Amino acid sequence: MNIINSTPRADGFYMPAEWEPHGGCVMIFPERSDSWQYGGYAARAAFVRVASAIAESEKVTVCASEKQYENARRMLPPHIRVVEMSSNDAWARDYAPTFVTDGREIRGINWGFNAWGGLADGLYFPWDKDDKMARKLCDLYDVDMYDFGSFILEGGSIHVDGDGTCITTEACLLSAGRNPNLSKTEIENYLRECLNVIKVIWLKNGIYNDETNEHVDNICAFVKPAEVVLAWTDDENDPQYEMSRSCLEILERETDARGRRFTVHKLNCPAPVTITAEECGGLDTMDFAPTRTPGERLAASYVNFYISNNAIVMPFFGDPADEPARALLAELFPERKVIPIPARDILIGGGNIHCITQQIPLRGKI
């Protein structure tokens, strides 16, 4: 693995859209008992369902700690690869490499990771093992790496259309715990150079109470160039209403890198999902305090789906909105089957299916 002292843009590499062909997908086996209830048993079962759904059409590699390796190998079907790798938690989207391609070769980007806010408002300490994963994964996949470790970014805070446009949120990228010494313009320049995009669309915010500082991948996702799904609610008393409405207004007045106006599909959220006292009782404490409190609202959104080579792997919450969400995604991705996964056990950890996956673009060597 070579470290490349240049930028993807300078070398003609770009981040492809998620619907472009994948060579594979990487995930991390969940383990920490302050993130996942009852020591992670239910979360692991849910992750296995996600991995299995994705593995129907692409090679999935699951990273497991030394301690969990045998569990992972036993629980996952044999065509899924398990590799030993240490981590602090299980969010492949946020600290696996962001992969770029020039159509022939793929390369990885290592961003800096500080647990969604470092000492300002990060979610756990330390985060050193997570931060090392992008580099280890580039080495594992034998791809060269751009090292932007001094720039804090999580993969879940960006979405691209593969055609020159990136969407992100100000709430996250301009947060005090990421890159407080960089201006919005400087941050945007990082995205342009690293993702090789022409235009960055800045939404103000994401999903209410999303502890990632409102990652874009929970509120808005491309389904094709100039066409997005937006997490929505019609309940004007829900704090989510103004947040989604703000996003809609921005999307309606913006154009993409090629000057196209956006088609916005509203993807209705489930009714507010809150954690129960019983679920909180299954979570270990962190720094002598509970990580969640009964009644706390979780950032449930159907936008947090993964586009695999032949499927849309999406979360279900056991809510009446499940089926309409499935139907909309089926309509928007007619060439893919929609695979719903009951995702409450993932949501409790603080994210969803998109957050726990990272696609690897297809290349000759994979």
Provide the binding-site residues for its own copies, judged by CB under 8 A: 1-3, 59, 66, 69-70, 73, 78-79, 81-86, 129, 132, 135-136, 139-140, 142
Residue 39 region by backbone torsions, left for phi larger than 0, else alpha for psi between -120 and 50, else beta? left
Question: Phi and psi for 326 in degrees, rounded to 5?
Answer: -60, -45
Least distance (Å) between residue 123 CB and its own copies: 22
Q: Which residues contact 58 (CB under 8 A, 6 or more apart)?
A: 22, 23, 24, 25, 308, 309, 359
Least distance (Å) between residue 358 CB and its own copies: 17
Q: What is the CA radius of gyration of the chain?
A: 19
Question: Is 136 or 159 the residue whose CB approaches its own copies more closely?
Answer: 136
Least distance (Å) between residue 51 CB and its own copies: 14
Residue 345 in tokens: 């056990």
**What does the alpha-carbon distance between residue 237 and residue 277 come to, in Å, rounded to a whole number?**
25
Question: Is 218 or 309 the residue whose CB approaches its own copies more closely?
Answer: 309
DSSP designation for 80? S
Question: Is 59 or 224 the residue whose CB approaches its own copies more closely?
Answer: 59
Residue 129 in tokens: 């093992």
Question: Is 9 or 59 the residue whose CB approaches its own copies more closely?
Answer: 59
Least distance (Å) between residue 130 CB and its own copies: 13
Q: Which residues contact 80 (CB under 8 A, 6 or more apart)?
A: 51, 52, 55, 60, 61, 62
Length in residues, the chain? 366
Question: Is 65 or 268 the residue whose CB approaches its own copies more closely?
Answer: 65
**What does the alpha-carbon distance between residue 221 and residue 216 come to, in Å, rounded to a whole number?**
8
Least distance (Å) between residue 82 CB and its own copies: 5
Q: Which residues contact 233 (CB under 8 A, 6 or more apart)?
A: 240, 241, 244, 268, 269
Which one is catalytic: 25, 138, 194, 355?
A: 355
**What does the alpha-carbon distance between residue 159 and residue 207 come to, in Å, rounded to a whole number?**
15
Least distance (Å) between residue 75 CB and its own copies: 14
Question: Is 86 or 274 the residue whose CB approaches its own copies more closely?
Answer: 86
Residue 104 in tokens: 């022939």
Q: Are 172 and 211 in contact (CB under 8 A)?
A: no
Least distance (Å) between residue 50 CB and its own copies: 19
**What does the alpha-carbon distance between residue 43 and residue 56 come to, in Å, rounded to a whole number?**
20
DSSP for 329-346, written as a single string:
HHHH-TTSEEEEEE-HHH
280 is catalytic: no
Question: Is 79 or 184 the residue whose CB approaches its own copies more closely?
Answer: 79
List residues with catalytic annotation.
355
